Amino acid sequence: MQSTLGKPIRLRDFVRVRDYYFSVVGYKNKPLVKCMLRYIPDEKGNRMKNGKKFRKISQDEVGKFFKDYFRDGLFYLPYDLIDDVYKPEERLKFAMKYREVKSIVEFFEGIPKTEMGVTGSRLIDLVSDESDVDFVVYGKFWFYAREKLRRGIEIGKLSEPDFNTWDFIYKKRKISLPFDVFLAHERRKYHRAFLGSTYFDLLYVRDYDEIDRSIPEEKGKKLGKIEIEAEVLDDNFIFDYPAYYPIKHREIKAVLCFTHTYVGQAFRGERIVARGDLEIIDNQKYLIVGTKREVEDEYIVSLNLLNKLGLLDEFMKWKT
């Protein structure tokens, strides 16, 4: 099944199979849709839709469902199994029934509404009291939105996350880097903010004419865990999924990051230290960071940033 407008399924869309809701986790979705189970029916759930209760499912549980379509930690669903497709850009008007979403859309005035949307629980109308706003902007317009967010914090229309929010993210993600190192990278990303009391993430998704970029998404042949130091050559897709850091290195083509924790960690011209799994994909070597959601022994850091902020010694001491 395709969406109502016949567009290809892409990252951060949702699909429904009976009463089970999956988030799409990539762009290469033919012949199967690559996704993760997020919400399931449950009589004890704290979310309600059409008279039924649902709950958000933990990643430890997902393998118990749709076992025929589950491998390597993801679901690969055939199109004829899918009952509905939910696209953030197509359902923005619906999502704007939530006051907080409407306010965020108004803040990003000037960006076409066709180039923005909301994913997660508000996309599929399964909101709970704990739900944040996962705000999506597509392609080149995301960079305009990021600059507008940065400027909004600067002039006081938005506020950056407070200490408690950063601390919650740090602990939730089980990040092993020193907190000060984590925070130094996060504060310059400008992809999280508060509008009043509403917290939201600003999420990047490629536009439709960018979907076929030759950025690997599939698993390769593992060669073992390594750490490298290299220069980042381009930063056009460092907020994507996977985040793509092409590097100047004698063997490795790029760092691919499959966790939101380490998107936007370093920019073009900066030197990074990165630790992850070395893999061969299509006869090219890549360093894979984010082989699990909680990246306790994997990381990407900018040496330039740490040196500038006087945190390099702290990082090097932690690393050794």
Q: The sheet that has 192-195: what strands, in order across it? A: 116-119, 133-138, 198-205, 192-195
Percent of the chain's residues with pLDDT above 90: 85
At residue 169, the pLDDT reads 93
Half-sphere exposure of 69 (CA within 13 A, CB side): 20
- For residue 258 the two structure tokens come to 């499959």
At residue 45, the pLDDT reads 87
- For residue 73 the two structure tokens come to 């930690």
What mean pLDDT is predicted for residues 178-205?
A: 97
3-state SS class at 187: helix
For residue 177, what is the DSSP state?
S
- Angle, CA of 273, 276 and 278, to the nearest 5°: 110
How far apart are the C-alpha atoms of 301 and 25, rounded to whole Å? 24
pLDDT tens digits, 49-91: 999 999 999 888 888 888 899 988 899 999 999 999 999 999 9
How far apart are the C-alpha atoms of 283 and 278, rounded to whole Å? 12
Helix or strand (DSSP H, E) at 180: helix 179-187
Q: Which residues, listed in sequence order, are joined to residue 172 by a DSSP beta bridge?
A: none
Q: Which residues contact 43 (CB under 8 A, 6 or more apart)?
A: 53
In order, the DSSP letters of 224-238 are EEEEEEEEE---TTT
Helices and strands in the chain: count of H runs, count of E runs = 8, 18
How far apart are the C-alpha atoms of 290 and 279, rounded to whole Å? 13
- For residue 249 the two structure tokens come to 């290195």
pLDDT tens digits, 243-299: 999 999 999 999 999 999 999 999 999 999 999 999 999 999 999 998 665 567 899
Residue 3 has pLDDT above 80, yes or no: no
Positive or negative torsion for Cα 66, 68, 70, 75: negative
Half-sphere exposure of 289 (CA within 13 A, CB side): 29
What is the model's pTM?
0.92
In order, the DSSP letters of 53-110 are EEEEPPTTTGGGSSGGGEETTEEEEEGGG--EEE-TTTSHHHHTTSHHHHHHHHHTTT
pLDDT tens digits, 206-250: 999 999 888 999 889 999 999 999 999 999 999 999 999 999 999
Nearest to 84, CA basis, from 35, 12, 13, 183:
13
How far apart are the C-alpha atoms of 307 and 273, rounded to whole Å? 13
| Amino acid sitting at position 236 | N
